[in-house]
Structure 1
Amino acid sequence: MHSRLAFVDTLRGIAVLSVIIQHVLEHVVLTGQTGPYEGFLHGLIGYYFNFGRFGVVLFFFVSGFVVPYSFSDSSTPVRDFAVSRFFRLYPMYWLAIVLAVAILPVTEAKVFPAWQLGVNLTMFQNLVGVPNMVIAHWTLAIELIFYIGCAVLFVLGLLRRSKAVFAIVVVLSVGGIVLPILFEQRIVSRLLEVVLNIDAMLIGKVIRDTVMERRLRWWHVAVCLGLYCAFAALIFHRLYGAVYQDFFFSYSIASAYIAAGLVFLVFASFGDRLAAQALSFIGTISYSVYLMQVYVLSIALHYFGAGATLLQWLLFAVGVVGTTILLSWATYALVEKPAIGFGRRFRSRREAGPATLPAAQRSVA
């Protein structure tokens, strides 16, 4: 029996709302009609911060906090892990792909060749150099890499060795700081950006092993977060420098990554005392929200536009967010939740033994 940590769902709710806010405000700015609000909005979502990246990286920290503890105490833990992850991700993702084919050619005049559709159905498109049908799907490839990495570490007996994971974080972070100095090629920095995202996930586990499992000390967390912040600042300076690129700027992206780490640390430290019921509800359906917000936003822009005044922008934002949550509640109930339950029935029935965490400390991924 799994016990759900309410603050984890609260963090997921904050994360997915941050992503939607970024996407909505980007389109408001792109109308070119922001007038006196131009400087404020550009600073809010482009020059000084990026809510989208903040939300995505917050999701990565949560994955690191939860996923490594999803291996069951059964005769086939890796198989059970793979089955649960598959049914957790793919059914909703395939629905999102179907909606992309049905909606985006109309609202955005996009054309998807059969080969692109076929590869995107696997969710491995980023790993083989095939474009995402939906840009937001890039985060799912990072999740898959992390899942595969967790399975490998589990098989090697390293996943539950907290100091081994700490050492991996240190190696990845130091490498991320040193390599861009030695190699200035952009491809190196792009690959290290992926490593930084994996680093955030592993730090999520380090923080859990400190605040909940008591296997590590706070100095371990301080070292990891310190190196992570330096890694983020350096890599995004290399990628973006002082040139503003369509809401991507070295300072705004680096600050989003650093803020995500600090916010996650605060919530993990205080636990369910920081949980909020409304945000926890949104967090429960956050995967559906993340996938569905693309289509609600696209339809709203195509048929109604983002507006030209502050009141119209507010109505546009509230309409997109509200409709996305209602639609996602439905898709969660009709697709996501049944798929997760279906996957669990394939898992081994062996009861948890002493090697696993107490039920009160486990969290549903």
Structure 2
Amino acid sequence: MQATTNNRNYLIDLLRFLSASWVALFHFNAGIPPADNWYRAFCGLGYLGVPVFFIISGYCICIAQQHAKTPRSFIIRRFFRIFPPYWFSILLVCACALAIKLITGTNSAASLPNSFGRVMAAVLLYTAPLSSEHTINWVYWTLPYELFFYFLVFLAMAISKQVSAFLLLVLALAAIWVPYQATGFLFFFNELPAFLLGYALYLVLHKEGNIYAALGLLLSAAAGVYLKHVEFAYHITYFATIALIAVNARFPLKNNFFSRLGDYSYSVYLIHVPLGIYLLGFVKRYQAVQNTTVLNILADFTLLTVVVVCAKVMFMRVEAPSIKLGRKYSA
């Protein structure tokens, strides 16, 4: 049984939104003094939303590959899915930095590029961890991982769509042995197993291609994520994510309010830092907010609500038209 209705997987949508929101709560509380309470402990684990994103991305890219008629159409759609919203979010970062500069007289938001080379590095996503060039938004570091995974799938399709699982299996095995790379061309091996875990999971659940190659890829990717991330919380997150997706393949989640918010998850991810921290983060500097759990929760979910509303507008005005252009130019 497919975990979709009208080509939508509502669990994936739900996980995307919850992960983006968890990352946002993590960042909302990252810049204030720590507090010993259950809520701050929960927010402190929000970084685990990133590996959930990576697994979901691998799962969804496998779906996109199955439906792509050519490698060219695949990569064009991926380009329009990532870059126009990313470029818009850069403009938003600059706008927030300018607003803070005008209000306070100083730029305490982001260190913006101050040379042509740094500007082009930001525009082309030639930033950390691909290079040593720092990012102007705390979440941008994950995007080069996304792009490299898209590129690897594109290469596998260009060589042979039928043997792509075997080629990715070789890369999964290589990722086990390649040591951690802080920056540089081989950086993508750090998180490649997480993407491949989601990718292989789709192949196994939906019996696409050679089942033995898919199982080998799944096991290799699982070994990779276990060895790359020794923290127990990561292991639990990976296991829970693939378990939920596997169960959902048999008992699909129905459409609901929060799954419908999944459309806005990429925008929430991109703009929660400039809006919720650079521009509006002053609300978290009050001692009463920091030291009172109820006020802390109220402040965070008010910020999150503002971000989600803005993300909806961004999806309608930027993401959706960009996706439409990708379909047009890939046809």
Q: TM-score, normalised by structure 1?
A: 0.74
Which residue of structure 2 lines up, in the alignment, with residue 345 of structure 1?
A: 328
| Pairing of 1:1-365 with structure 2 (within 5 A) | 3-27=7-31, 30-31=32-33, 34=35, 37=37, 40=38, 43-46=41-44, 50-52=45-47, 54-71=48-65, 72=67, 74=69, 77-105=70-98, 106=100, 108-112=108-112, 113-115=114-116, 116-126=118-128, 127-157=130-160, 160-173=163-176, 175-176=177-178, 179=179, 194-213=188-207, 215-216=210-211, 220=216, 223-224=219-220, 226-234=222-230, 254-271=231-248, 273-274=252-253, 277-298=256-277, 299-302=279-282, 305=285, 307-308=289-290, 309-348=292-331
Distance in 2 (CA, whole Å) between partners of 1:45 and 1:191 is 32
Structure 2 unaligned blocks of 5 or more:
1-5, 101-106
Tell me: CA distance 1:166–1:276, structure 2 relative to 1, closer, same or farther (3 Å).
farther
Structure 1 unaligned blocks of 5 or more:
181-186, 235-253, 349-365
Contact map agreement 2:84 2:318 (CA 8 A) in 1: yes
Contact map agreement 1:10 1:275 (CA 8 A) in 2: no
Tell me: CA distance 1:104–1:200, structure 2 relative to 1, closer, same or farther (3 Å).
same
Contact map agreement 1:25 1:45 (CA 8 A) in 2: yes
Between stretches 158-167 and 55-64, larger displacement belongs to 158-167
The C-alpha deviation readout for 1:114-161, integer Å capped at 9, x for no partner, is 332332011222323211111210111110111111111111226754
Higher relative contact order (CA 8 A, sep 6+): 1
Q: Report the Cα offset of residue 18 of structure 1.
A: 1.6
Distance in 2 (CA, whole Å) between partners of 1:133 and 1:189 is 17
Aligned partner of residue 285 in structure 2, secondary structure: coil
Distance in 2 (CA, whole Å) between partners of 1:279 and 1:159 is 36
Q: Percent identity?
A: 19
The C-alpha deviation readout for 1:248-303, integer Å capped at 9, x for no partner, is xxxxxx23432332122112212262456233222211111101111221222136
Letter matched to residue 301 of structure 1: G
Letter matched to residue 223 of structure 1: L
Between stretches 59-68 and 208-217, larger displacement belongs to 208-217
Tell me: CA distance 1:219–1:146, structure 2 relative to 1, closer, same or farther (3 Å).
closer
Contact map agreement 1:83 1:343 (CA 8 A) in 2: yes
Letter matched to residue 155 of structure 2: V
Cα-Cα RMSD: 2.9
Letter matched to residue 318 of structure 1: F
Distance in 1 (CA, whole Å) between partners of 2:143 and 2:218 is 28
Count of residue pairs the alignment pairs up: 307
Distance in 1 (CA, whole Å) between partners of 2:295 and 2:28 is 12
Letter matched to residue 133 of structure 1: I
Q: Report the Cα offset of residue 333 of structure 1.
A: 0.7
Tell me: CA distance 1:138–1:213, structure 2 relative to 1, closer, same or farther (3 Å).
same
Between stretches 214-223 and 102-111, larger displacement belongs to 214-223
